[in-house]
Copies of this chain bind each other. A is one copy, B any other.
Amino acid sequence: MHPQRWGTPDAATVLPDSALGLVDLAFGLQDSPAVTGATPPRIALDESLLDGLRAIVGDAHVLVDDATRTLRTRGKSTPDLLRARAGDLTDAPDAVVRPSGHDEVATLLAWATEHRVAVVPFGGGTCVTGGLAARRDGFAGLVSLDLVRMKRLLDVDMVSMTATLEPGLRGPEAEALLAGHGLTLGHYPQSFEHASIGGFAATRSSGQSSAGYGRFDAMVVALTAATPTGTMTVGSSPANAAGPDLRQLLLGSEGAFGVITSVTVRVRRAPAETSYEGWRWPSFAAGSDAMRTLAQAGLLPTVIRLSDESETAINLADPAAIGGSGDGCLMITGYEGTAAQVASRRAEVTTVLTELGGVPLGAEPGEKWSHGRFGAPYLRDALLDHGVLVETLETATFWSRRERLYADVKAALTSSLGEGSLVLCHVSHVYETGCSLYFTVAARQGDDPIAQWQVAKAAASDAMIAAGATITHHHAVGTDHRPWFAREIGEVGVRVLRAVKAELDPAGILNPGVLIP
């Protein structure tokens, strides 16, 4: 991945002139080039410590060159990109170490505990919540524990329909290995092309097909984690009554309790057929109610998402059409499975949505969404190049609080970012009892765009907590969400997490400052 941008250069979005004109109209085009040639700070780890690392993983897998260190600096939030574009590499690790498997990870963590070296587990590097910017004060140095060599499909159980995967597998790599057995995980977050299995587990990721395949944490039936004080393996059965579910304590632990070295996930047969369609709704509220009806009737498609009026008008799925069409609100429904499954669920959903007043738009909007489903982060880079501040955040709540949450977060963002800013929203994950709300904002960058965003983000976060909603539906806590996370789980919840952390990682070497308030 490019150190200052999302993804790979050949997939970069080039804004057509029509779009540039509109961007100029909306925000005023500003030239906002990235600094080149910045180098990371001096390596803090001394040679004897580097030798210690080499003794564990081998010389070839302790990397200290500037390019590698730069590539392992922070994640891909807009503040991360703005810092990277400004040449700020202060969070660069001293070294990047690449263990070959569980045992080397375990040895590394014991070694790091002994030598007080901070360790940041690194999967795909797509974090957008500051989860790769650990504190380093009080430590002899900071290493990025890169899981890039741990990419095996360890086991496939075609009877139980489970697969055991190593954490370094990127989304497409995992899917390719599973496809060899006719299987799929069905986990397609926007970061799919670059994010890793370990990251999905450590952050409780949820993909665009969550209505059909479930969230990642719901797919995991067993997992193994190396911690500084020993290995934890949990998951003897799909579900049980043997005490608290310790799987759910490691899922979402963001590398602060241990390094997840394998996960056993429920898999499905790769779909024979996929079909995506569009629907139009008179309002965001009407479309949301329709989603709720489907969820509570047990009739969800594989994919279901709904853009609010603003997002529908902007049509983010297609840069060439920015500012394009759109009355009301666009909903995308997707069906995956056997031909019979697709036909049957599609018929049921179509009946319900038609009865509720949805207007079918046919396959075209669905195909367009499907084609562009991983593309938004590239569009962000193109807009950052022109001095537009673009960022996203998301939350979730129960259905009865959806309307208030939507209004309050939107008002907080709009009022903070000021006139001329754009605040768009969609629902992309639904449950019987509630749904997510995902906001995208665009505004003209001021003199200090990072501070500008932080103020807006804080206002939005305050609104979420005040509405009784969560600070994050699928992007984890990292460092950015910690203050609000503490409010969400309360003082006793925080103490519980600290107690678990102290037990598993007594020296606090794992991701210092991440997750735990």
Is the Cβ of A160 less than 8 Å from the Cβ of B434? yes
Interface size class of A (residues with CB under 8 A): 35 or more
Which residues on B sit within 8 Å (CB–CB) of A502? 499
- B239 and A243 form a contact (CB under 8 A): no
What 0/1 readout, one digit per residue, does chain A (245-267) give for beta carbons within 8 Å of chain B? 11111111110000000000010
Within 8 A of B (CB), among A254-286: 254, 266, 268
Q: Do the beta carbons of B236 and A468 come within 8 Å of each other?
A: yes
A241–B203 CB distance below 8 A: yes
Give the distance to chain B from A437, nearest Cβ to Cβ, in Å.
10
A446 at the interface (CB under 8 A from B): no
B492 and A229 within 8 A (CB): yes
A233 close to B (CB within 8 Å)? yes
Residues of chain B lying within 8 A (CB to CB) of residue A97: none
Contact A504 B477 (CB under 8 A): no
Chain B residue, CB-CB nearest to A250:
B244
Q: Give A179 Cβ to nearest chain B Cβ, in Å.
A: 18
Flag whether A209 is at the interface (Cβ < 8 A).
Answer: no
Structural contact, B242 and A472, CB atoms closer than 8 A: yes
Contact A204 B241 (CB under 8 A): yes
A266 to chain B, nearest CB (A): 5
A408: min CB distance to chain B, Å: 14
Q: How far is the CA of A499 from the CA of B429 in the complex (A)?
A: 34
Q: List residues of chain B with CB within 8 A of the CB of A499.
A: 499-500, 502-503
The answer, among B230, B243, B397, B431, for a CB contact under 8 Å with A485, is B243
Max count, chain B CB within 10 A of own CB: residue among A248, A268, A485: A248
A472 in complex: contacting residue of B240, B247, B488, CB < 8 Å: B240
**A window 386-414: CB within 8 A of B:** 395-401
Contacts of A400 in B (CB 8 A): 157, 159-160
Q: Is the CB of B246 within 8 A of A496?
A: yes
Q: A296 at the A/B interface (Cβ < 8 Å)?
A: yes
Q: Which residues of B contact A205 (CB under 8 A)?
A: 241
Interface pair A239/B473, CB less than 8 Å apart: yes
Question: Of residues 463 to 482 in A, which have CB atoms within 8 Å of B's CB atoms?
Answer: 468-477, 481
- The distance in angstroms between the C-alpha atoms of A160 and B401, with both chains bound, is 9
Q: Is A495 an interface residue (CB 8 A)?
A: yes
Bound Cα distance from A241 to B215, whole angstroms: 10
Name A426-477 residues within 8 Å CB distance of B. 429, 431-435, 468-477
Q: Is the CB of A232 within 8 A of B496?
A: yes
Q: Which residues of B contact A296 (CB under 8 A)?
A: 161, 268
Is there contact, CB below 8 Å, between B496 and A230? Answer: no
Give bound CA distance, A252 to B468, whole Å.
Answer: 25
Of A234, A468, A493, which is in contact with the most chain B CB atoms at under 10 Å from its CB?
Answer: A493
Q: Do B204 and A240 touch across chains, with their CB atoms under 8 A apart?
A: yes
Question: Residue-by-residue, is A296-333 near B (CB-CB < 8 Å gives 1, otherwise 0)?
Answer: 10100000000000000000000000000000000000
A433 to B236, CA, bound (A): 11
CB pair A241 B497 closer than 8 Å = no
Report chain B residues within 8 Å CB of A341: 298
CB–CB B204/A238 < 8 A? no
Question: Is the pair A433, B204 in contact by a Cβ cutoff of 8 Å?
Answer: no
CB-CB under 8 A from A481, the residues of chain B are 242
Asked, given contacts A253-B244, A296-B161, A500-B499, whether A434 binds B493 with beta carbons under 8 Å apart, the answer is no
Contact A473 B229 (CB under 8 A): no
**B500 x A240 contact (CB < 8 A):** no
Q: How far is the CB of A19 from chain B (nearest CB, A)?
A: 32
A169 within 8 A of B: no
Interfacial chain B residues near A68, Cβ < 8 Å = none
* Known contacts A221-B398, A237-B473, A431-B238; A243 and B232 CB within 8 A of each other: no
Additional A-B contact list (12), CB under 8 Å, known A241-B470, A244-B250: A160-B398, A162-B398, A203-B241, A221-B398, A232-B492, A238-B398, A241-B473, A241-B474, A242-B489, A249-B496, A266-B432, A498-B503
Question: Would you mind naming 26 contact pairs between A and B with Cβ atoms under 8 Å apart?
Answer: A157-B400, A159-B398, A160-B434, A161-B433, A204-B240, A230-B492, A230-B495, A231-B492, A234-B490, A236-B396, A236-B469, A238-B432, A238-B433, A239-B431, A240-B470, A243-B253, A243-B254, A243-B477, A244-B250, A244-B251, A245-B248, A266-B432, A266-B433, A492-B504, A495-B504, A496-B503
